[in-house]
Amino acid sequence: MASNSTLDVPHSTSSVTVSIIDATIKMTFPIRPFFNPVVGGVEQLETIAYSFLIEHANGQKLLFDLGARVDFESNAPALVRRLKSFGFNSPSIEKDVATILDEGGMDLRDINAVIWSHHHWDHVGDVSKFPSTTELVVGPGVPKLWPGYPVNQESFVLESDYKGRPTREIDFNNASELGGFRAFDYFGDGSFYLLDTPGHTIGHMSALARTSVSPPSFIFMGGDTCHHAGVFRPSEFVPLPETIIPSPIAPLNATKKLNFCPGEMFLSIHPNHSPTEPFYKIVVDKDGKSLPYIDVDSAYETIAKIQKIDKSENVLVIMAHDASLRDILSYWPTSANTWQADGWKSKGTWRFLADFVSQKVEARY
Ligand SMILES: [Zn+2]
């Protein structure tokens, strides 16, 4: 990987503290409606979801995404019906993010804002558990989805998530540009940006947090721009190495002697045997429609920009559902800011490949 950042981020002396919260969702999703082709015979993938706590030195605290409501059936009825019509089974959700924070000693009155990457059930959580002073921040166009259920019986969102609290719709019209994305400088000091990353839904946003100042490092929170790392890796910027170190299929604590694996092992199951193309493409039907993306062209443009960002050694890319990072990351109350020293990127970049040889997943279906 290149040592220079390809991200053109203006200099800043301000950073934020980022903590990752495991939103305790466990669910499986079928490959075929989302990605093409099936790789390694794996038809379904197990996935999870992350939420992020962002703390600024000025005392402000934000949450980027909230995972899901603990009771799946309490989502908007039209949404529950639609997901079940696809054969989607109720996920297991142990605790919602509000409960995790509360039990960890966080006073929810200290959360200034909840930011939704987008309005889907596995990201919006249960905002009603936060005090009415907690602002809801959404991407462009999302308030057009109001009113939610029950005012609109067919809505996929819930009125209780936004009613009675300040809601801010981010305006990217006069925004600067970062990594090719329109970027909203949230605190005005270069420590935390919201990025306009279209394709998946209306108003989908990602976030870029500065986790250190000198030298600069960042965490890119990709939301649902990609539902699996195989949608954006490998790429011409992050090619599949001839020797993968550490091995994605070895235990994380494997000895150095054993901890490598030939890239050929995965090149052989790559649909085009290409070290520079992602494993998965987006499934598009004959009418040009896709289940995971409302706009496939924009989705591919967004993915192409993320591939460039992914090249930067000082940017850690975390998609909301990247289960391959689960055992590498540390979670709140531990901060994620030391990710570079802790080697999360080098340990995590190719770990998703283990999904393609996972006997555990294969055996279950
Ligand atoms: Zn999602």
Cβ atoms of residues 171 and 140 within 8 Å: yes
- Under the banding of pLDDT at 50, 70 and 90, the label for residue 5 is low
Taking the centre of ligand 1 as the mean of its atom positions, its distance from the CA of residue 49, in whole angstroms, is 7
Taking the centre of ligand 1 as the mean of its atom positions, its distance from the CA of residue 320, in whole angstroms, is 7
The predicted structure's pLDDT at residue 6: 63
- Rounded to whole angstroms, the Cα distance separating 20 from 64 reads 10
Q: Tens of pLDDT along 43-54?
A: 999 999 999 999
- Under the banding of pLDDT at 50, 70 and 90, the label for residue 86 is confident
* CB crowding 92-101: b at 16 or more within 10 Å, else e: ebeebbbebb
Amino acid residing at 356: F
Share of the chain above pLDDT 90, in %: 85
Taking the centre of ligand 1 as the mean of its atom positions, its distance from the CA of residue 318, in whole angstroms, is 13
- Under the banding of pLDDT at 50, 70 and 90, the label for residue 2 is very low
Res. 143: pLDDT tops 80: yes
Taking the centre of ligand 1 as the mean of its atom positions, its distance from the CA of residue 327, in whole angstroms, is 20
Angle 215-221-225 (CA atoms, 0-180°, nearest 5)? 135
Burial class (CB in 10 A: 0-12, 13-18, 19+), 120: buried
Amino acid residing at 218: F
Report residue 293 as tokens: 């993306």
Taking the centre of ligand 1 as the mean of its atom positions, its distance from the CA of residue 321, in whole angstroms, is 7
Taking the centre of ligand 1 as the mean of its atom positions, its distance from the CA of residue 176, in whole angstroms, is 27
Among the four given CATH numbers 2.150.10.10, 3.40.50.970, 3.60.15.10, 3.90.480.20, the one describing domain 16-364: 3.60.15.10
Q: Tens of pLDDT along 203-222?
A: 999 999 999 999 999 999 99
- Rounded to whole angstroms, the Cα distance separating 210 from 190 reads 8
- Under the banding of pLDDT at 50, 70 and 90, the label for residue 358 is low
- In which element (H, E) is residue 54 found? strand 50-56
Domain residue limits, the chain: 16-364
* CB crowding 289-316: b at 16 or more within 10 Å, else e: ebebbebbeebebbbebbbbbbbbebbb
Taking the centre of ligand 1 as the mean of its atom positions, its distance from the CA of residue 227, in whole angstroms, is 7
Taking the centre of ligand 1 as the mean of its atom positions, its distance from the CA of residue 309, in whole angstroms, is 21
Q: Tens of pLDDT along 226-285?
A: 999 999 999 999 999 999 999 998 888 877 777 899 999 999 999 999 999 999 999 999
